[in-house]
Amino acid sequence: MGHLDINVTIEYDNFTLDIKQQLPIQGITGIFGHSGSGKSTLLRIIAGLIKDAKGDILLNKKTLFNSATNSFIKPEKRNIGLVFQDSRLFSHLTVKGNLLFAATRCKTSKLTFSDIIELTDLTSLLDKKVTKLSGGEQQRVALARALLAEPELLLLDEPLSALDKQNKSLMLTLLNKVQKTLNIPIYYVSHSLAELQQLADNLLVMSRGEVSHFGNVHQIIHQLNNSATIQQQTSLSLPIQDHLADYGLTSLRLNDAQQIYLPLLEHSNLESSSEKQHVNDEVKVLRCFIFASDISITKHEHSGSSIVNHLAAKITHISAQQRNTLITVQCQQQVFYAQISLWSTQRLALKIDDDIFIQFKASAVHTLNNRGEKTSC
Amino acid sequence: MFTQSPDLLALITTLKMAGVTTLILLFIGTPLAWYLAHLRSRYKVFIEAFVALPLVLPPTVLGFYLLLALSPQHLPGKMWQELTGQQLAFSFTAIVIGSVLYSLPFVVQPLQKAFEQLGDDVVDAGKMLGAGPIDRFFHIVFPLTKASFITAASLGFAHTVGEFGVVLMIGGNIPGETRVLSIALFDHVEAFDYAKAHALAISLLIGSLILLALIYLLNYQRPAEKV
């Protein structure tokens, strides 16, 4: 596995970016941070669109720039793709013209034009003017155009932020499919943790121009639960066990004896999962998250409850937060986070190592398509 | 009206001067406009003011200083004479030099405005797709600012055709060399030949009007589209 070694500093009037981090050139690496944290600046430095940084960046041990030796590879020579927040299509060209712009300048030929058109479902749009496309279509063209340049590394700078919920969902499914099919390493910048939770393998968190966290996406989201910068949640990646269409439920396999139920997955999710299985011969896996505020705790199992998810667990950590308590519990190998009131914590006399039950409704399990208008950050 | 050769000669000289001037202006005005559009310096205003100077400066002032500079007594004129063996002042080359300086803002300003409006976004997108600087200019920047190039070239050409003061100061009135339409018109007026003067004047007026109407029509049909 290759690496991108970043050691850069850049100073502006009221902001300093100072990053020293090694990132994998594999899978999808999410870059998360609130507005002004420096994530887009970092991406532009990697792309070569910002020249005046100090330090060096090495892509698979090849120097992209080194301020000490005054070496700088121009953006057009770096073989790095970038999809911008606004699609930046060339308005004087048709969809096909935009795609050919990239294809004719590509020096390798691993991917064919027709493969990318088919993958991104652009066949019917080829002769259209780009100004006549919807926002979602424009971003699909921008993605296909970037892919046709066959980059060694693809950077995505908040590509979904201008899209509506339905187009976001479609684009996330497409990005997942693209990454798995073409195996192009992707760095995905977003201020939406929900998007990154669905896509990223690893997560880099930036705060005030510095890296605050880096690691496996689920582990980092769980670490962020203690920093009060996100809405506290349990991030899960579980195999799909069954679809109970008659009851409108899908079950995920938590461990040998326990399942988690959520609302029946919509068509696009099922399709995405089956494509994953087809491409990588993996088990169908679904990413989902549950807000800590949606999980409650009981000392005894309530067999008569309408709530479908009841899981036996052990308390491993209790953290008081103003009027609430964040309870960390272990359910065999899986950690869960429950946020309950301080009053309930005292009333139930909860303490570390207590055996308890957590419970949550099926609708509390959020995926790409069923999470409604809620946001996870 | 052009049955007499002096006016026909003046027309040919005028078109030749305006054509050469426009080509030179596009060649030097494009990089200058690009530089100004991207310059982030407090000194930018001074360069912009220098470029715009012919808009407010009396043409005779520019013509006077050019006459001095191009004369054999001063370095540019002296060097030219040593290199070519011919005097620079009162030559076709001299009126082209004067026209380039005099019409510079009419080419640079619309191009600078177009480049500023275009911004760096699509240019950056071109970079990320492997396009080098020349490639980006001819396949992204030029097609997206084509209307402004046509406007700049048309204004530069039309303004050069209408020149009088600068050409008279540094070119004199040599038929077939520096005698352009505006000077020929002045000659007819001085000789009280109002019929010929009127024929030239109305031709210049109608020609300029048609050219401007075409520019506005072109800009009306090609509104800027941004994706």
Delimit the domains of chain B by residue range.
Answer: 5-56+98-221
Which residues in chain A are closer than 8 Å to B225, comparing Cβ atoms?
91, 131
Tell me how far apart the alpha carbons of residues B162 and B181 are, in angstroms, rounded to a whole number.
Answer: 8
* 8 Å CB contact of A91 and B128: no
Structure confidence at residue A281 (pLDDT) = 43
Size of interface A-B (CB pairs under 8 A): 73
pLDDT digits (tens, 9 = 90+) for B33-60: 999 999 999 899 999 999 999 999 999 8
HSE of A246 in the Cβ direction (CA atoms, 13 Å)? Answer: 0
* 8 Å CB contact of A131 and B227: yes
Beta carbons of A160 and A175 less than 8 angstroms apart:
no
Q: Identity (one letter) of the amino acid at B194?
A: Y
> Which stretches within chain B are classed as H helix?
5-38, 44-56, 59-70, 75-84, 92-118, 121-128, 133-136, 142-144, 146-161, 165-171, 181-190, 194-221
Low-confidence stretches of chain A (pLDDT beneath 50): 268-282, 371-377
* 8 Å CB contact of B130 and A49: no
What confidence category does residue B176 fall into, taking pLDDT thresholds of 50, 70 and 90?
confident
Section B80-98 average pLDDT: 91
Residue bearing tokens 């054509």:
B19
Superfamily of domain A2-224: P-loop containing nucleotide triphosphate hydrolases (3.40.50.300)
User: What is the spatial order of strands in the sheet that A186-190 belongs to?
Assistant: A80-83, A153-157, A186-190, A28-32, A202-207, A210-216
CA-based radius of gyration for chain B:
20
Q: Which residues of B touch A (CB under 8 A)?
A: 121-122, 124-132, 135, 139-140, 143-144, 225-227
pLDDT digits (tens, 9 = 90+) for A266-321: 654 444 443 333 334 445 889 999 999 999 999 988 778 889 999 999 999 999 88
* 8 Å CB contact of B128 and A105: no
Structure confidence at residue B2 (pLDDT) = 44
Domain B5-56+98-221 has CATH 3.10.350.10: no
Per-domain residue ranges of chain A: 2-224, 234-366
Structure confidence at residue A325 (pLDDT) = 93
CATH code for A234-366? 2.40.50.100
Structure confidence at residue B223 (pLDDT) = 54
Residue A40: partners with Cβ closer than 8 Å, 6 or more residues away: A157, A158, A189
Structure confidence at residue A161 (pLDDT) = 85
* 8 Å CB contact of A91 and B225: yes
Section B171-184 average pLDDT: 87
pTM of the model: 0.84
Structure confidence at residue A200 (pLDDT) = 93
Chain A, nearest residue to B145 by Cα: A92
B126 vs A161, more confident = B126
